[in-house]
Amino acid sequence: MVLLRRRFAFVLLLVVLSGVAKKSLAQNGGLSRGSFPKGFVFGTASSSYQYEGAVNEDGRGKAVWDKFAHSFGKVIDFSNADVAVDQYHRFNEDIQLMKDMGMDAYRFSIAWSRIFPNGTGEVNQAGIDHYNKLIDALLANGIQPYVTLYHWDLPQALADRYNGWIDRQIIQDFAIYAETCFKAFGDRVKHWITFNEPHTFAIQGYDVGLQAPGRCSTLLRLFCRAGNSATEPYLVAHNVLLSHATVTDIYRKKYKGTQQGSLGIAFDVMWYVPMSNSTEDIDATQRAQDFQFGWFMDPLFFGDYPSSMRRRVGDRLPKFSKTEAALVKGSLDFVGINHYTTYYAMHNSTNLIGILLNDTLADSGAITLPFKGLKAIGDRASSIWLYIVPEGIRSLMNYINQKYGNPLVIITENGMDDSNNPLISIKDALKDTKRIKYYNDYLSNLSAAIREDGCNVQGYFAWSLLDNWEWAAGYTSRFGLYFVDYNDNRKRYPKNSVNWFKNLLKSN
């Protein structure tokens, strides 16, 4: 185990150093569609709760985010997503925006509570009808649907009944929901993403309690009514992996032969670089990645959690039976990567964090920061966590290539935000030069990872088509290629980045 850990640490260091050495190569100009392999897919991404609105229409049941967003103090601007950007009613208009840009695909999520208002039981036909219309409209305009089954909006009924992802009952209920979607939409949907960012909702929802359903037991317990930060995130992740594997098994046995689709998961992955060249910081950097990405990828590729997690979490980390391990291992057809930023990682030399938190952050023994001393790792976007480090995406692709055997990767999210500043005119807000540079630099590094390093990446989805409701940040953050005027019937305006993408996608 020690030898294996050192080997991965050495691989990590090689990836970091190669990324630095090749940085200048990837920042040359001349980016075009021809910079990517033939058949490479470009699209934009969204999620049902952030986009649809219409929360009380056509039989939709409540989701945990409905309750959370309407709870005082949970969203920074006290907003909610009852209307969001109203895509439920305006999807035809938005599809034309994608078509005009030359996008090949659209990644969206299905709201579980539109299909099963109570999480399980009777199917809501109005929900089936809505997504049928959306899928058909996309295909009629030459845009391929990439469908996420779960993007954080757990039916509230399941949270009330058995605390949702904490209980193994969720595996059966998710499988019923997923198979219902395969039956209804699988003749046209060929790309399924079972989960969006399981690491994020395990940590934010069940460790620190800053997102729905808002469970925690750390110092932040002041804001949480229930939870156990030392155990629940691990239970959630375990049940997510078993749910995904169960659904993949169902799909491969009953639907893949006729529908010919593929299934993956979209993982949130920061790239980490060591704070220093010390052995302690290099090892801590690998642990940080283990507790973020390896937590899910290792079971899917190797059949068990990373050895660093087994060693440091102990009996609080659930175990797979031999049957479960076999079910989970190999249950991915592609790896979805949501990548935005890069941080430094360093060894936690004090146990103070462990004493104060007793959670996954303390368990990792690694501290991750966007600063080295007073110097930031890169220019910051609007979000306090998002620093612009374009070479990180290339290093991450090489890490996946080397550690996991170069699997098929799709970049399922990448982008940056501006602030929603009421003092800036719409005319000025459309001049998003910083966003254009972000996309140019990240895509240049991604192209280099594919063409020069041999990484198997076959698609890229920008986050996001429209400005939208950004979870606990509410409407304070604007990630869209299109500006949405929340004061004038959600009218859409193209930012300069729209023309940049249009030119990119029509060029060879």
Tokens for 111, please give them.
């709201």
Bridge partners of 482, per DSSP, are 466, 494
Residue 490 φ/ψ region, left for φ over 0, alpha for ψ in the -120 to 50 degree band, beta for the rest = left
Query: Among 232, 391, 413, 470, which one carries the catalytic annotation?
Result: 413
Nearest to 209 by CA among 193, 232, 178, 192: 232
- Between the alpha carbon of residue 105 and those of residues 8, 98, 183, 500, the distances in Å are 35, 8, 21, 17
Q: Tokens 């990872």 sit at which residue?
A: 449
Active site residue 197: yes
| Amino acid letter, residue 415 | G
CA distance 506 to 289: 37
Active site residue 452: no
Query: Among 52, 197, 324, 470, which one carries the catalytic annotation?
Result: 197
Residue 114 φ/ψ region, left for φ over 0, alpha for ψ in the -120 to 50 degree band, beta for the rest = alpha
Helix 169-185 to helix 232-254 angle (10° resolution) is 40
Tokens for 507, please give them.
């060029």
Tokens for 97, please give them.
């925006």
Judge whether 227 and 217 are in contact, CB under 8 Å.
yes
Greatest CA separation found in the chain? 61
Please calculate the CA angle 266-360-353 and round it to the nearest 5 degrees.
Answer: 140
Judge whether 105 and 461 are in contact, CB under 8 Å.
yes
Burial readout 315-336 (b: 16 or more C-beta within 10 A, e: otherwise): ebbbebeeebeebbbebbbbbb
DSSP string computed for 363-382: HHTEEEESEETTEESSEE-S
HEC secondary structure over 220-278: HHHHCCCCCCCCHHHHHHHHHHHHHHHHHHHHHHHCHHHHCCEEEEEEECCEEEECCCC
Sign of CA dihedral 49, 52, 56, 58: negative
Judge whether 358 and 329 are in contact, CB under 8 Å.
no
Q: At a CB cut-off of 8 Å and minimum separation 6, what does 277 contact?
A: none
Please calculate the CA angle 119-122-126 and round it to the nearest 5 degrees.
Answer: 90
Positions marked catalytic:
197, 413
